[in-house]
Amino acid sequence: MKYNICWLRRDLRLEDNTALEAAMKSGNKILLLFIFDKNICDELDVNDSRINFIYKSLKGMDSHLKSMDCSGLLIKKGEPLEVLEELFQTYDIENLFFNEDFEPYGLERDSKASDLAASRGINTQKFTDHVIFRPGTVLKADGSPYTIFTPFKKRWLQHFESHEIKPEQALLFDKFRHEIQTTFPSLEQLGFEASSIQVPDFAPENIVDYEETRDYPGLDKTTKIGPHLRFGTISIRKLIRERGKESEIYTSELIWREFFIQILYLFPKVVKDSFKSKYDRITWRNNKQEFDRWCKGETGIPLVDAGMRELNQTGFMHNRVRMICASFLCKNLLIDWRLGEAYFASRLLDFELASNNGNWQWSAGTGCDSAPYFRVFNPETQQKRFDADQKYIRRWIVDLDELTYPKPMVDLKTSRVRAIDTYKSSINS
């Protein structure tokens, strides 16, 4: 019996899954594979909440298939090429299907996987699924990439209006019915442990008034869509198709996501270097003690501390507060944006390299279409505008009025001047 492997990665759903739909139309039985990649997992804590979310999502898919009298998912842990080689030797595989990953590691991994498949006479078929438009599609008239968001957005919308976003296809469950019996492993068998932090459910009801409420962290009115797009438990096409017209601002935020994915894909140097190269000359202070206080939410600046404590306790931080915390680290403390980006990457449930990198470089003033270096968010002013009643701050800082709460670690005015002078002298040197 011939098989197709459909390799799941950032598309943990059975519905509206481009590679899976193509695999189901191809005529062969399907091995629905997920690999807990040791190259990624070994860098995470065994109780990482994102691993728990992936596991829970896969378990739900497996249970759904088995309720339809189908074979379940094939779950493996290891080095992807080694896992694929073992499967290629064990089964008569005709095609390898997967949806593309546009991050540098994913591109390199997939290229090697395709080469391995080709060496065994196996066809590789890859698809765009994680974004509406594949990076490199939305370009200027001369074929060059956009590095400013607003014209990119305008062009993206033009593409969107001229392309049909296809509806979901019905699942052909008969392609999952074969003699291979799969046993879904326990979390412990995979070498992981349960996490106390859970990924929140998507809250679509918050889209309608998103524009009016999104900047006020005390309202807790964001949609929590980030992790679900990151791991593909919700289709970006379905989201746009069903909810896109409810809020232009919300749709704009989704386009920002595609903008940063394209920037990372076309300018991979941004992973380690500033998009604007002259900003790599900045003389950062990188004071370790100050960085540690920032990480713990002990800076004495309430809005910053509330954000960091929310992050540490829940794996989430409100969108506006992310900008404020990032600006404070890079500008007021003059600590390299790369350190802050790495800390967010280790904690955020919705960590996605492109967006994390793009937004940190935006806040630091080093990235494409970024805030100018002399723009420094003032946390006190931001608090007065967006958390005037301190509802958000007091939710996360229980000792705000106690002697245990620290005094401000820097003066906001003098540290702002220091940052502007440092940036100016560094980039003009």
pLDDT of res. 167: 67
Residue ranges of the chain that CATH labels 3.40.50.620: 2-129
pLDDT band at 348 (very low <50, low <70, confident <90, very high): very high
Residue ranges of the chain that CATH labels 1.10.579.10: 269-427
pLDDT of res. 305: 98
pLDDT of res. 299: 98
The more confidently predicted of residues 162 and 349 is 349
Instruction: List, as one string, the DSSP characters of 25-56.
Output: TSSSEEEEEEEEEHHHHTTS-TT-HHHHHHHH
pLDDT of res. 398: 96
pLDDT in tens, 112-131: 999 999 999 999 999 999 99
Segment 330-336 shows an average pLDDT of 98
Among 181, 149, 152, 155, residue whose Cα is nearest residue 70: 181
pLDDT band at 6 (very low <50, low <70, confident <90, very high): very high
Q: How many beta carbons lie within 10 A of that of residue 282, not counting itself?
A: 22
Beta pairing partners, 68: none
pLDDT in tens, 139-180: 999 999 999 999 999 999 999 998 877 766 666 677 777 767
Question: Per CATH, is 131-168+203-266 categorized as 1.25.40.80?
Answer: yes
pLDDT of res. 396: 98
pLDDT in tens, 9-58: 999 999 999 999 999 988 899 999 999 999 999 999 999 999 999 999 99
pLDDT of res. 180: 76
Hunting for tokens 């918050």 — which residue is that? 206
**Pairing mode of beta strands 74-78, 92-99:** unpaired
Distance CA 290, CA 389 (A): 28
pLDDT band at 216 (very low <50, low <70, confident <90, very high): very high
Share of the chain above pLDDT 70, in %: 98
- Secondary structure class of 201 (helix, strand, coil): coil
Q: What pTM was computed for the model?
A: 0.96
Distance CA 226, CA 353 (A): 12
Amino acid type, 312: N
370: pLDDT strictly greater than 90: no
Q: Which CATH architecture has domain 269-427?
A: Orthogonal Bundle (1.10)
385: pLDDT strictly greater than 80: yes
pLDDT in tens, 71-97: 899 999 999 999 999 999 999 999 999
Among 1, 34, 12, 7, residue whose Cα is nearest residue 23: 7
134: pLDDT strictly greater than 90: yes
User: By the 8 A CB rule, do 266 and 284 touch?
Assistant: no
Residue ranges of the chain that CATH labels 1.25.40.80: 131-168+203-266
pLDDT of res. 8: 98
Share of the chain above pLDDT 90, in %: 89
The correct CATH number of 2-129 out of 2.160.20.70, 3.40.50.620, 3.30.460.10, 3.90.70.10 is: 3.40.50.620
Residue 29, CA distances (Å) to 66, 84, 236 in order: 15, 17, 27
Segment 244-260 shows an average pLDDT of 95
* 104-127: b (≥16 Cβ within 10 Å) or e: eebeebbeebbebbeeeebebbbb
- Secondary structure class of 97 (helix, strand, coil): strand
